[in-house]
Amino acid sequence: MRYEAVIGLETHVELATKSKIFCSCGGHSAKGEPNTRVCPACAGMPGMLPVTNKRVVELAMRAGLLLNCQISRYTTFDKKSYYYPDLPCSYQITQWFHPICREGSVEVTTKDGARTIGIKQIHMEEDAGKLVHDDWTETTLVDFNRTSVPLIEIVSKPDFRTADEVMAYLEKLKTMFRFANISECEEGAMRCDVNISIRPEGSEELGVRTEIKNMSSLSSIRRAIQYETARHLDAVERGTETLVQETRRWDDVKGRTFSMRNKETAADYRYFPDPNLMPILIGDDWLRRVKDEMPASVEEKTAEYQSKGLSAKEIASLTAERVLCDLFDALISSGREPKEAASWILTECGGILRKHGQVMGELDIAPEKLSRIMEKVSGNEINRAAGRKVLEAVLYEGADPDEYCEAHDLSAQGDADAVRQVVLKVLDNTPAAVRDYLGGKKKAFQALFGGCMKELKGNGDPQVIRALLEEELAKRS
C-alpha cells in the first residue's frame, strides 16, 4: 500500500516594527545585551497595561492580503495562561476567539508542479523571553529582550504532502514578507511547529498526528519532516511502535525527534478576552489605506523594471532586496536615468559595500544624496572615480556630497579647463619628456601622464587627461 504524508504548519514570524507589540521598547529581539530592551510594561510589573501598537495590526493585515485571506472587521486579543519563567505575566496575549485573518491560500511550486495550500488563519501575538542556562554556575537566567516582540502566527491547513512543498512554502513566505516589509525574516525570526500524520493514498481519514515544536532553520525542518514521516511509516507498516498523539522535539545533532512528555501538552490555557485591550474594529477606510500602502510585489516590480529597459540580471539583483527597489524608484522619480541608477546601486554601491564586508541588503543611503552624486558625475562636475570616492564618504562618514567635493577640492577635477591648465603646467615643467615623446619615444607619454595625475592628486579622469595631453602635445609637434 502507498502512503502519503499529511502536513500542516504553524509558522511564527517576527514583524519588522520599530517597537514591541504592547509598549514602546525597541522591536528587534536579537539586538542588545540581555534585559536592555525591556520596560516595566513588557517585564510585566504590577500595574502596567498593554497598549496595542497599531503598526502590528497593519502588518498582520498586509500579510493576510498577501495570502488572500479574509480580513476580520472585528478582532480581539485574548489571554493564554501558563506558567514559565520567560513569560513575565504568566499569560501570553494572543488571539484566540477572533483572529485578524481567516481563510486564505498560497500557491507553491516544486519540481512536481504547483499546488495550492490553504491558510486557516493568521493571528497576532507577543513573543516570550528567553531562558539562558549557565552551566558554570548551574543557574538559569531570564532575558526579557524578546518579550512582547510582535509575531504573527500563520496556521496552514494540513495541505502539504512533501517536505519539498513545505520548503517551497516557507521560502515563498520569506520572500513575500521581506519584500513587503512585513518581516526581516532573518535567522530565528521565523519559527515553525509542524503537524504530521500519514494515511493510505486516496484515503480521507487522518492518521495519528504528532507535532514537532519550534524549529527555525529550513534544513532542520526538512530533516525533521523526513525523519518523522519515516517513523510514522515504520510504525504503521512494520509495527515498530504505537503512535500516540503528542508533541515532539527535533534534535538536530542526533537527527531524530523525541517525545517531550511534558505537562504542557495537557495544559488548559484558560483563554479569555483581555479586558485591557478594546476590540479592534477594522473599517473600510483603514483596510483601503493598508491596501494602498501595500508595496508592489516582486512580480509587479519585475515587469515595471523590464519596461524601463533593465537587464534580467539587474532586475534580479534589485528585486532581491526591498531597500534596493525603494532606492532605485526614488532615483528614477528624482529624474535619474534607469540604466545609470541600476549601475550606481549595483556596481558602485555594491563594490563599496563588499570592500567593507557588507551585503547589498545593508545598503543605507539617502536617495537624494546618491542622486546628487550621479548628477555631479553626469554633468561632468566630477568624474566617475571622484564620484565613487564621494559615495564612499557618504556611506561611511555620513558626508554631504556637495560639501565633500568642496572640502576635498574634487569639484574642479572634472573640469576640462582646470585639467588643461595642469597639463600645460606639466608640459612646461618637463621639457625633456616632451622632447623625447615628440622625438618618437612613446614611453615618455606615461611619464607626462603620471606627472599630471600627481599634480591632480590622483583625482583626474584618465581619459580626459590622456585626450588633453595628446591634444596639447600635437600643438607642440
Partner 1 sequence: MEILDLTAVELGERIRKREVSAAEAVEAVYDAFRERNRNLNAYAAFEIDPARTAAQAAQTLLDGGGASALAGVPVGVKDNISVKNCLTTCASRILQGYRAPFDATAVRKLRGAGAVPAGTLNMDEFAMGSTSETSCYGAVRNPWNVGHVPGGSSGGAAAAVAARECFCALGSDTGGSVRQPASYCGVTGFKPSYGRVSRYGLVAYGSSLDQIGPIARDVRDCAALMDVIAGADPFDATSRTFPDAGFLDALNGDIRGLRVGVPEECFGDGAEEDVKACVQEFLDELRRAGAELVSISLPFVRYAVPTYYILATAEASSNLSRFDGVKYGYRTEHYHTLEELYVRTRSEGFGKEVQKRILLGTFVLSSGYYDAYYNKALKMKQLIVDGFAEAFGRCDVMALPVSPTTAPKLGESLSDPLKMYLSDVFTVPANLAGLPGLSVPCGFDRNGLPVGAQLLGAVGADALVLNAGHAYQLATDWHTRKPEICRPPLGGDVAERQRGEAVENA
Residues that bind partner 1 (CB under 8 A): 40, 43-52, 79, 81, 83, 85, 88-91, 142, 268, 270-272, 275-278
**Residue 236 carries which DSSP code?**
I
Burial class, 393, CB count within 10 angstroms (exposed 0-12 / middle 13-18 / buried 19+): buried
Residue 213 CB, shortest distance to partner 1, in Å, is 19
Closest to partner 1 by CB, 48 vs 243, is: 48
Q: What count of residues does the chain have?
A: 477
How many Cβ atoms sit within 10 Å of the Cβ of residue 5? Answer: 23
Residue 33 CB, shortest distance to partner 1, in Å, is 18
Q: How many Cα atoms within 13 Å fall on the side-chain side of residue 43? A: 11
Residue 2 CB, shortest distance to partner 1, in Å, is 39
Residue 75 CB, shortest distance to partner 1, in Å, is 14
Closest to partner 1 by CB, 145 vs 383, is: 145
Residue 153 CB, shortest distance to partner 1, in Å, is 20
Closest to partner 1 by CB, 95 vs 229, is: 95
Closest to partner 1 by CB, 228 vs 274, is: 274
Closest to partner 1 by CB, 91 vs 404, is: 91
Integer Cα distance of 412 and 417 in angstroms: 9
What is the per-residue DSSP string for 411-463? TTTT-HHHHHHHHHHHHHH-HHHHHHHHTT-TTHHHHHHHHHHHHTTT-S-HH
**Residue 355: φ, ψ to 5°:** -55, -35
Residue 129 CB, shortest distance to partner 1, in Å, is 11
Integer Cα distance of 285 and 166 in angstroms: 35
- The C-alpha cell at 364 is 543605507
Closest to partner 1 by CB, 188 vs 279, is: 279
How many Cβ atoms sit within 10 Å of the Cβ of residue 330? Answer: 16
Closest to partner 1 by CB, 184 vs 274, is: 274
Closest to partner 1 by CB, 144 vs 305, is: 144
Provide the b/e sequence for 121-160 (b: ≥16 CB within 10 Å).
bbbbbbbbbeeeeeeeeeeeebbbbbbbbbbbbbbbbbbb
Residue 265 CB, shortest distance to partner 1, in Å, is 14
Residue 89 CB, shortest distance to partner 1, in Å, is 5
Nearest residue to 19 via CA among 47, 45, 50: 50
Helices (H) and strands (E) in the chain, counts: 16, 16
